[in-house]
Structure 1
Amino acid sequence: MKQKLIHAYLKLRETNILSNFLNLSSIQLSNILLLMLIFPIITRKIGIEAFGFVTLANTFATLAGVVINYGINQSGIRDVALNIKDKQKLSIVFYNALWIRAIIFILYIVFLYTVQWWGMKYYGLIILATPLVIAEVLNPLFFFIGTERLKIYNVANVVTKVISILSLVIFVKSSADAGWVNFILGLAGVITYAGLLIYAVKEFKLSFSLPVTSDLLKLGKDNFYLTANNISVQLQQSIMIFALGHLGNPEWLGAYALCDKVIQTCRMLIISVSNAIYPKSVQIYQQGVRIWELYRKKTKWLITCIFFMGSLSIFILADFIIYVISGQRDHTAVVFLRIMCLVPTVASLNFINVIDQLLKNNTAYIFRIAIILLGVSLLLAWLLFRSHWYILFGSFTLILEICGLMMYEYTIKKPARNNA
Structure 2
Amino acid sequence: MLEKLGLLPLGDIIKNKSIQNFLFLAIIQSSNVLISIISMPLLIQGIGVDQFGLVNLALSVIVLLNIMVGFGYNLSAPREVAINQTDKTALSHLVSNIFSAKILLAAFAAALIIFGVYGLNLFKEYPLILVYSVLLLFSEATLPLWFFQGMEKMKLISIANIFSKLLFLMGIVLFIHRPELSKWVNFMMGFSGLMINLFLLAYIHTFLQIRFYRPQFSAIWTSMKENVLFFFSNLTGYISVNGGLIIFSFFAGAETLGMYSLAERVVMVLRLFPAMIVQAIFPNASKLYRKDEKSFYRFLKLVYIRVLIGGAVIATLTYLTAPWVINVLSRSELNESVTYLQLLSPLLFLSCLNIPNITMMLVADLKQLLFKASWMMCLYMLIVTSILTYFYGGIGLCYGILSTEIVAYCICMVLLRTRNRKLFHGFYS
Q: TM-score, normalising length from structure 1?
A: 0.88
Counterpart check, 1:312 vs 2:316: yes
Structure 1's 162 and 400: CA in aligned 2 closer, same or farther, altered over 3 A?
A: same
Match of 2:408 among 391, 404, 415: 404
Matched, 1:123 2:127: yes
For residues 356-375 of structure 1, the aligned pairs below 5 Å read: 356-375=360-379
Which residue is 2:99 aligned to? 98
1:266 Cα deviation after fit: 2.4
Aligned pairs for 1:251-290 (under 5 A) are 251-277=255-281
Query: What's the counterpart of residue 56 of structure 2?
Result: 55
My pick for the range that moved more, 206-215 or 240-249, is 206-215
| C-alpha separation in 2, matches of 1:415 and 1:162 | 47
1:343 & 1:9 partners in 2: Cα distance? 38
Shift, 1:94, TM fit: 2.8
Judged with a 3 Å threshold, the aligned counterparts in structure 2 of structure 1 residues 137 and 276 are, in CA distance, closer, same or farther, namely: farther
Q: Map 1:8-407 onto structure 2 (within 5 A).
A: 15-115=16-116, 116-121=118-123, 122-277=126-281, 295-351=299-355, 353-354=357-358, 356-388=360-392, 390-407=394-411
CA separation in 2, counterparts of 1:300 and 1:198? 43
Q: CA deviation at 1:214?
A: 3.8
Deviation digits for residues 247-274 of structure 1 (CA, Å, limit 9, x no counterpart): 2133331121111111222244544444
Residue 21 of structure 1 aligns to which amino acid in structure 2? Answer: F
Give the 3-state SS of the residue equivalent to 1:318 in structure 2. helix
Three-state SS of the structure 1 residue aligned to 2:120 is coil
Distance 1:159 1:379, change over 3 A: same
Equivalent in the alignment of 2:6: 6
Higher relative contact order at CA 8 Å, sep ≥6: structure 1 or structure 2? 1
Secondary structure of the corresponding residue to residue 237 of structure 1: helix
Shift of 1:57: 0.5
1:296-351 superposed Cα distances (whole Å, 9 cap, x missing partner) = 44444444444443323212211111111111111221121122222223334435
Unaligned runs of 5+ in 1: none
CA distance in 2, matches of 1:21, 1:400: 29
Q: 1:273 to 1:154 in 2, by over 3 A?
A: farther
CA pair 345-94 structure 1, distance change in 2 beyond 3 A: farther
* One-letter identity of the residue aligned with 1:164: F
Deviation at 1:165, TM superposition (A): 1.1
One-letter code aligned to 2:258 = G
Q: How far does residue 288 in structure 1 lie from its aligned partner after superposition?
A: 6.8
Q: 1:389 to 1:243 in 2, by over 3 A?
A: closer
Q: Distance in 1 between matches of 2:221 and 2:3?
A: 53
Measured after TM superposition, the shift of residue 95 of structure 1 is: 2.9
**Aligned residues between the structures:** 419
- Conserved? CA contact 1:336–1:393, under 8 Å: no
Q: Distance in 1 between matches of 2:296 and 2:98?
A: 28
Distance 1:5 1:146, change over 3 A: closer
- Farther off after superposition, 376-385 or 261-270: 261-270
Q: Given the superposition, is the C-alpha separation of residues 3 and 306 from structure 1 closer, same or farther in structure 2, using an over 3 Å criterion?
A: same
Query: How far has the Cα of 1:227 moved from its partner?
Result: 0.7
- CA shift, 1:198, in A, is 2.6
> What amino acid is the match of 1:387?
F
How many angstroms apart in 1 are the aligned matches of 2:417 and 2:14? 32
Instruction: Give 2:120's aligned amino acid.
Output: W
Which deviates more, 78-87 or 155-164?
A: 78-87
Q: Secondary structure at the match of 1:388?
A: helix
Q: How has the CA–CA distance of structure 1 residues 101 and 358 changed in structure 2, closer, same or farther, with 3 Å as cutoff?
A: farther
Q: Is the 8 A contact 2:319 2:345 kept in 1?
A: yes
Which residue identity is paired with 1:6?
Answer: G
1:225 aligned counterpart, secondary structure = helix
Note the C-alpha offset of 1:189. Answer: 0.7
Secondary structure class of the residue paired with 2:119 = coil
The 10-residue stretch of structure 1 (127-136 or 332-341) with the greater mean CA deviation from structure 2: 332-341
Cα deviation, 1:345-397, whole Å, max 9, x if unaligned, reads 33344356445434544332232222212221121122212432642322333
- Structure 2 length normalisation: TM-score? 0.86
- Output the CA distance in 2 between the equivalents of 1:353 and 1:12: 29
Q: Contact conserved, 1:39 with 1:325, CA < 8 A, in 2?
A: yes
The one-letter amino acid paired with 1:37 is I
Please tell me the residue identity of whatever aligns with 1:244: F
The 2-side partners of 1:198 and 1:276 are apart by 31
Post-superposition shift, 1:190? 0.7
Shift of 1:137: 0.4
**Percentage of matched positions with identical amino acids:** 22
**SS of residue paired to 1:96:** helix
Q: Distance in 2 between matches of 1:66 and 1:283?
A: 29
Q: CA deviation at 1:161?
A: 1.5
Distance 1:9 1:393 in 2: 50
Contact 1:40 1:327 in 2 (8 A): yes
